[in-house]
Chains A and B, each alone.
Chain A
Amino acid sequence: MTKILGHLLWAAVAVLSAFCLAAIALNRGEPVNSMWLVVAAASTYILGFRFYAKFIAARVMALNDKRATPAERLRNGHDFEPTNKWIVFGHHFAAIAGPGPLVGPVLAAQFGYLPGTLWIIIGAVLGGAVQDFIILFASMRRDGKSLGEMAREEIGKIGGFTALLTVLLIMIILLAVVALVVVNALRGSPWATFTIAATMPIAVFMGLYLRYWRPGKVLECSVIGFLLVLGSIFLGQGVAQSPTFAPWFTLSAIALAFAIIIYGFLASALPVWLLLAPRDYLSTFVKLGVILMLGVGILFVRPELQLPAFTRFVDGSGPIFAGKIFPFCFITIACGAISGFHSLISSGTTPKMIAREWHAWPVGYGSMLLESFVAIMAMIAACVLEPGVYFAVNSPAGVVGATPAAAVGTISSWGFPVTVSQMESLARAVGEHTLFSRTGGAPSLALGMAHIFARSGGGDAVVGFWYHFAIMFEALFILTIIDAGTRVGRFMLQDLLGHVHPPLGRTSWMPGVIATSAAVVAAWGYFLYQGVRDPLGGINSLWPLFGIANQLLAAIALCVATTILIKMHGAKFLWITCMPLIWLVMVTFTAAWQKMFSPIPAIGFLAQAERLEAALASGAIAAAKVAETRTLIFNARLDAFVCGLFLALVATILIDSVVSWVGILRGTREREVREAPFVPSRLRPEEI
C-alpha cells in the first residue's frame, strides 16, 4: 500500500513538473506569475535528484557506505575530517555559489524569460549537477585529488598540463569580467562607492580584531562587521546627498577600474589575515543570508514577470550582447546550469569532508540544484522589471544613444515603452543620478531584488536602502573573488616561474611576490581596462569570452568523468557524461567560432577589427580618436586570439581523451581504475 502511494506521489510530482513547464513554455501575451517558474524548477529538481542522480549513485558509481572515505582514512582534524552531510552540503554550496548564477541569467533575460529558464533547469539536472557529482565521487575515491591531478592520471600528461594552463587563463578572464561588473555598478554612484569603500577599513578592523583582540571569534567578529556594513549603507545615503562628500565618491569608470586594480594588487601582496580572510568570512555569511532572503521574498511577494517569454532579440540583434539564442544563451548562463569552475571545488575541500560515500549524492548533485535555483531567482528578479526599464538599464550607450531622450526613443522603438521621467523617478527612488546604461547585470539585479524586498515590507520608502544593500552584497563577494583569485593566480605563476628562477617560486620572497602579483593584476587589469573603454560597455565582448572559457573547463571535467566511467563500465554508461559533453562542445565551439569569425561586427572580433580598420583608412575617424581606435582594433584581435587559444587547448584535451577512450574500449590501453584501495569504514554514527 505504502509503495503504491509512493508511486502515486512521484507520478503527481512528474505531472506537476510537466504541467508547470508546459505552462511557462506555452504561455504567450499574458504576464506569468513567478511561482510557475519556482514550482517548475523545484519539481524537476526533485525528480532529477530522486531518480536520475540516485540511478547514477547506485548503478554507475556503486556508492558504498561500508567503504571508508578519505575523510576517515586520512583524518587529520584539519583538511580531512568526516563531517555531517548537511554541513558539508552548506559548505560546498557556499563555495560554488558566486556571482555567475546571479549575473548570467540577468543578461540572458534579453531573449525573454523562457530560453534561460529552460536551460537553467534542464542544464543543471542533466549536465551541471552530473558533472559536479561525478567529479566529487572520482576525487573522493582518489584521496581527494584535484581535477588537474585526475586529468594527468586518467587522460595523460598533456591533458593534465593543458587543464592547469586553461584554469590560469580562465581566471584572468573571470577576474576581469567580474571586476567590470563592479565598475559598472559603482560608476557615478557616490552611495554605492562609499559603501564598498567602507568595507575595506571594516575588513581591516575585523582582521585586527581576530588577530589581536579576540582571536578565533570569527562569528562574533562577522556580526560586528555586518552591522558596520549596514551602518555604512545608511551613512552612504548621507554622503550621496552631501555637496562636500558626494564628489569624492563620484568616480568615473576608469578611476574605479584603477582603484580595483590597485586593490587587487594590495590584497594579493598583503598578509591574508589583514584584508582577504575577514572579507571572505563576511561575504560568505552575507551571501547565504541574501540568497535565503531572496527566496523567502519571492515566495512571499509572488511577483509577476513583466518580460515576455521571448523578445525580438532571439534573432541575434540584442543590445546587451549580440548573437542568437544558440549558442549565446547557453554560454551566457554558465554557473546555474553547468559551470566548469565547480569541478575545481568538487575536487578541492569537499571530498575531504565527506563521511559516507552516499553523502556525495546530496552534496554533489543537490548543491548544484540549489545553485541552479539561485539562478532561477535571479532570472525572476530581472524579469519583474518593466521590459523598457530592463533594457534602459542594461543597454550600453553605444547602442541606444548617449542621452536619455535618445535611449528611451531607441528602446521604445523596439516595442518596450519607457519614458525619461519614469527612469528619473526610479533613479531618484534608489538614490542614483541615473540608471541609464548601467550595464553588467548588477544594477538591474539590484533593482529587481530591491523591488521584491521592498514589497515584502517597508514599501517604496526603503527601495533605495534595499537597492544599495543588493549592490553591496554583489560587490562584496565579487571583490572577494578578485582578491582571492589574484592571489591564486600569483601562486600558479610563482609555481611556474620557480622552475625558471627558483627564488621566484618562493612565496616568502618579497620581490617575487610583488613581481608575480603585479603580473597577474596587469593581465586581468588589461582586460578590465579594455572593457571599461569599450564603447559597447565591455560586457558584450568579455562576458561571452568568460562563458566560453567556463564551459570549456566543464568540457575538460566531463572528459575526465567520461574516462573514469569508461574504465569502470566500458561503453555502457558513456551517455551520462557524453550527452552534456557533446552539447557543450557544440555550444562552445560554435560560440567561439562565431566570436572569432562572424562577419557581423557586433559578434565577430575580427570583423569588428576590420570595420574599425576600414573606418581608419577612409578617414572617417576624427584625429583625436585615432589612437583609441587603434587600441580597439588591437583589443578585438587579442580577444579573437584568446578565444582561439581556449579552443585549441580544449581541442587538445578532447582529442587526447577520445584517443584514450578508443584505446581503452579496444583493449589496447590500460583500463585500470586508479581508485584508492577498499578499506572498511569503522566510523560510528555518533562521530558524524
Chain B
Amino acid sequence: MSSARNLARLIIDLLRELADEAPYKRYLAARGRCHSAEEWRRFSEQRMRARYCRAKCC
C-alpha cells in the first residue's frame, strides 16, 4: 500500500516538475517571494527563454 502511495507521489512530483510548477515553487522560495500573476510571468519568461534556446529532440 505504501509503495503504491510512494509511486503515486512520485508520478505527481514528476508531473509538477514537467509542468514547471515545482521549479516555480523553488523559484519563489529561493527569492523569498509569494505567488502572484506578475511573479509567475517573470518566472515563466525566464524559463521559456532558456528552454527555447535549446534544440528539441527528434
When distances are taken between beta carbons in the complex, the residues of chain B under 8 Å from A281 are: 18-20
Assembly CA distance A76 to B43 (angstroms): 13
Given contacts A215-B37, A284-B18, A484-B56, whether A87 and B13 have CB atoms under 8 Å apart is yes
C-alpha gap A460/B44 in the complex (Å)? 44
CA distance A590 to B31 in the complex (A): 55
In angstroms, how far is the closest chain A Cβ from the Cβ of B46?
7
Q: Is the CB of B10 within 8 A of A344?
A: no
Tell me whether A91 and B21 are in contact (CB under 8 A). no
A258-302 contacts to B (CB < 8 Å): 272-273, 276-277, 281, 284-285
Q: How far is the CB of A342 from chain B (nearest CB, A)?
A: 6
Q: Given A87-B17, A96-B57, A485-B55, do A78 and B27 touch, yes or no (CB 8 Å)?
A: yes
* Measured CA separation A348–B37 after assembly (Å): 28
**Partner of B30 from A76, A86, A212, A488 at Cβ < 8 Å:** A76
A448 to B: closest C-beta gap in Å: 21
The answer to whether A285 and B50 touch across the interface, beta carbons within 8 angstroms, is no
Cβ of A484 and Cβ of B21 under 8 Å apart? no
Taking a contact as CB atoms under 8 Å apart, the answer to whether B18 and A348 are in contact is no
Tell me if A95 and B46 are in contact (CB < 8 A): no
For A87, the chain B residues whose CB sits under 8 A away are 10, 13-14, 17
- The listed residue with most A CB atoms (<10 A of its CB), out of B17, B20, B55, is B55
Determine whether the beta carbon of B56 is less than 8 Å from that of A481: yes
Nearest CB in chain B: distance from A570 CB, A:
33
B contact residues around A96 at 8 Å (CB): 57
The interface bits of chain B over 11-28 (1 if a CB of A lies within 8 angstroms of the residue's CB, else 0) are: 001111111110110110
- Report if A97 contacts B (CB, 8 A): yes
Considering the chains assembled together, what is the distance between the CA atoms of A212 and B41 in angstroms?
9
| Chain B, residue nearest A481 (CB) | B56
Pick the contact of A285: B15, B17, B36 (CB < 8 A): B15
Which A residues are in CB contact (< 8 Å) with B47?
78
Q: Say yes or no: B46 contacts A78, CB within 8 Å.
A: yes
Known contacts A83-B17, A341-B58; is-contact A211 B10 (Cβ 8 Å):
no
A330-359: which residues lie under 8 A (CB-CB) from chain B?
334-335, 339, 341-342, 344-345, 348-349
In Å, the complex CA distance between A481 and B15 comes to 20
For the complex formed, measure the closest distance between the CB of B10 and the CB atoms of chain A, giving whole angstroms: 6
- Interface residue? B29 (CB, 8 A): yes
Please tell me if the beta carbons of B17 and A90 are within 8 angstroms of each other in the complex. Answer: yes
**Interface residue A171 (Cβ < 8 Å from any Cβ of B):** yes
Within 8 Å CB of A212, what residues of B?
37
The interface size of chain B toward A, counting residues with CB under 8 Å, comes to 37
Min CB distance A476 to B, Å, is: 13
> Most B CB atoms within 10 A — which of A77, A84, A222, A481?
A77
Q: Which chain B residue has the least Cβ–Cβ distance from A272?
A: B48
B7, chain A: closest CB distance, angstroms: 9
Contacts A77-B27, A95-B57, A272-B48 given: A215-B41 contact, CB under 8 Å? yes
Q: Is the interface of A mostly helix, strand, loop or mixed?
A: helix
Q: How large is the interface on A (under 10, 10 to 19, 20 to 34, 35 or more residues)?
A: 35 or more
Which of B36, B47, B56, B58 counts the most A-chain CB atoms under 10 A from its CB?
A: B58
Task: Let me know if B14 and A78 touch, CB within 8 A.
Answer: no
- Assembly CA distance A210 to B37 (angstroms): 9
Q: With A91-B17, A487-B52 known to touch, is A78 a contact of B58 (CB < 8 Å)?
A: no
A99 within 8 A of B: yes
What is the distance, in angstroms, from B40's C-beta to the closest C-beta of chain A?
4
B57 CB contact (under 8 Å) in A219, A222, A339: A339
- Given A78-B27, A488-B56, is A273 in contact with B17 using a C-beta cutoff of 8 Å? no
Give Cα distance in the complex from A342 to B56, angstroms.
9
CB distance from B8 to the nearest CB of A (A): 13
- Choose from B17, B20, B52 the contact partner of A484 (Cβ within 8 Å): B52
CB-based contact A222/B19 at 8 Å: yes
A77 touches B35 (CB 8 A): no
Q: Which residues of A contact B44 (CB under 8 A)?
A: 210-211, 273, 277
Cα A153 to Cα B28 in complex, Å, equals: 36
Tell whether B1 is near chain A: CB-to-CB under 8 Å: no
Q: Is the CB of B10 within 8 A of A78?
A: no
13 additional A-B pairs beyond A98-B57, A342-B57, beta carbons within 8 Å, are A91-B18, A100-B58, A215-B35, A216-B24, A219-B19, A272-B48, A277-B48, A281-B19, A281-B20, A285-B19, A344-B57, A345-B57, A349-B54
The chain B residues found within 8 Å of chain A, CB to CB, are 10, 13-21, 23-24, 26-27, 29-31, 35-37, 40-41, 44-58
The 10 lowest CB-CB distance pairs between A and B, nearest first, are: A77-B30, A218-B19, A215-B40, A90-B14, A216-B40, A100-B58, A215-B37, A77-B26, A272-B48, A98-B58
Partner-B contacts on A (CB < 8 A):
76-79, 81, 83-84, 86-87, 90-91, 94-100, 167, 171, 174, 178, 210-212, 215-219, 222, 272-273, 276-277, 281, 284-285, 334-335, 339, 341-342, 344-345, 348-349, 480-481, 484-485, 487-488, 491, 546, 550
